[in-house]
Structure 1
Amino acid sequence: PGKLADCGSQDLEKTELFLVEGNSAGGSAKQARDREYQAILPLRGKILNTWEVSPDQVLGSTEIHDIAVALGIDPDSNDLSQLRYGKVCILADADSDGLHIA
Structure 2
Amino acid sequence: MNWINQATKLVDCGPGIAMGTDKLPYRELFIVEGDSASKSVARSRDPRYQAVLPMQGKPMNAVKASRASIRRNQWYDAFVASIGLGWDDPDLQKLRYRRILLLFDPDADGIHCGALMLMFIERFFPVLLEQNFVSLIKAPMFQVTGKRKDEHLQLASEEQLRKVQTTLDEQGIAYTYQRYRGLASLCEQVLMETCLDPNSRTAFLLGMEDAKMARKVFMSGYVS
Pair member with larger Rg: 2
Give unpaired runs (5+ residues) of structure 2.
18-23, 117-224
Question: Matched residues in 1 for 2:96 and 2:16: separation?
Answer: 7
Which consecutive aligned stretches of 4+ in structure 1 deviate over 3 angstroms post-superposition?
A: 10-13
Larger RCO (alpha carbons 8 Å, 6+ apart)? 1
**Aligned residue runs from structure 1 range 30-45, under 5 A:** 30-45=42-57
1:21, CA displacement in angstroms?
A: 1.0
- Contact kept? 2:15, 2:25, Cα under 8 Å: no
1:99, CA displacement in angstroms?
A: 4.9
Please identify which structure carries the higher helix content: 2
Provide, for residues 44-74 of structure 1, a one-character-per-residue CA deviation record: whole Å limited to 9, x for no partner: 0111221121111111110011001110111
State the TM-score, normalizing by the size of structure 2: 0.41
Give unpaired runs (5+ residues) of structure 1.
none
Same amino acid, percent of matched pairs: 35
Please identify which structure carries the higher strand content: 2
**Aligned residue runs from structure 1 range 36-75, under 5 A:** 36-75=48-87
**Aligned residue runs from structure 1 range 7-26, under 5 A:** 7-10=13-16, 14-26=26-38
State the TM-score, normalizing by the size of structure 1: 0.85
SS in 1 for 2:94: coil
1:9, CA displacement in angstroms?
A: 1.8
Aligned pair count reads: 102
